[in-house]
Amino acid sequence: MGPLPRTLELFYDVLSPYSWLAFEVLCRYKNIWNVSLQLRPTLIAGIMKDSGNQPPALLPRKALYVKNDVRLLGQYLQVPIHLPKDFFFVIFEKGSLTAMRFLTIVKLEHPELLEKVSRELWMRVWSRDEDITEPQSILAAAEKAGMSTGRARELLERVSTPQVKNQLKETTDAACKYGTSIDVQPSTAAQ
């Protein structure tokens, strides 16, 4: 009998391509690395606000770096990642609030589906340039991940309840307390 798995928490938002890449690596290797992966849906906007950082896409040099870095990492890790055509509208106007609330309630009520629903939402926004904000889009992602239409509708109707809002805020606050911040620093090795 080997050592007990170590717990690793992944705080993530489906608006973050780097979160998707980390998610895929951790999901692939969690058994090999003997890790108990705890997926923690978080709101990236809350982390940005808490840390005082600007989104890398708003800074021209970092935006160019992110675009190239995400493309190369996606190829290397065999994750079908592509920037949305209207990147700024998707990221800064549409956001991910409803999707992250939906993932929060999935974690609360159907944790066995959290990985699949999260992946499908990432696939929608970062691979197929599809919406993740409209109710029909979220329902389609949940159904594709294996959730029944009826159950997905029930959960979606509850995304604005105080329980779900508070849980997402608490998880985001926990990420901030760990010192999470969003910043992309090009390394000399990657240039």
User: Which CATH number covers residue 131?
Assistant: 3.40.30.10
HSE toward the beta carbon, residue 94, CA cutoff 13 A? 21
**Which of 16, 19, 96, 118 is an active site residue?**
16
177 domain residue, yes or no: no
Provide the 3-class DSSP secondary structure of residue 14.
coil
HSE toward the beta carbon, residue 114, CA cutoff 13 A? 24
1 domain residue, yes or no: no
Which residue did the predictor score with more confidence, 66 or 108? 108
Contacts of 133 (CB under 8 A, 6+ apart): 94, 95, 96, 97, 98, 99
188 domain residue, yes or no: no
171 domain residue, yes or no: no
Q: Quick one: pLDDT band at residue 186, thresholds 50, 70, 90?
A: very low
> Which of 19-23, 56-60, 103-107, 172-176 bottoms out in mean pLDDT, i.e. has the lowest?
56-60
Sign of the torsion angle spanned by Cα atoms 137, 141, 49, 189: negative
Q: What is the pLDDT of residue 99?
A: 97
Q: Quick one: pLDDT band at residue 122, thresholds 50, 70, 90?
A: very high
Residue 189 has pLDDT above 70, yes or no: no
Calpha distance 47→43 (Å, rounded): 7
99 domain residue, yes or no: yes
Which residues are 113's β-sheet partners? Answer: none
Q: Give the chain's domain count.
A: 1
Question: In this prediction, what percent of the chain has a pLDDT beyond 70?
Answer: 93
11: how many CB neighbours lie within 10 A of its CB? 22
Calpha distance 165→72 (Å, rounded): 35
Residue 127 has pLDDT above 70, yes or no: yes
Calpha distance 143→56 (Å, rounded): 33
Q: What is the pLDDT of residue 184?
A: 45
Q: Quick one: pLDDT band at residue 110, thresholds 50, 70, 90?
A: very high
The DSSP output letter for 83 is: -
Mean pLDDT for 18-30 is 96
176 domain residue, yes or no: no
Calpha distance 138→87 (Å, rounded): 19
141 domain residue, yes or no: yes
147 domain residue, yes or no: yes
Structural domain containing residue 132: 6-165
19 is catalytic: no
Q: What is the pLDDT of residue 77?
A: 96
Nearest CA to 125 out of 85, 152, 157, 181 is that of 85
Residue 165 has pLDDT above 60, yes or no: yes
Q: Quick one: pLDDT band at residue 182, thresholds 50, 70, 90?
A: low
Q: What is the pLDDT of residue 179?
A: 79
HSE toward the beta carbon, residue 156, CA cutoff 13 A? 21
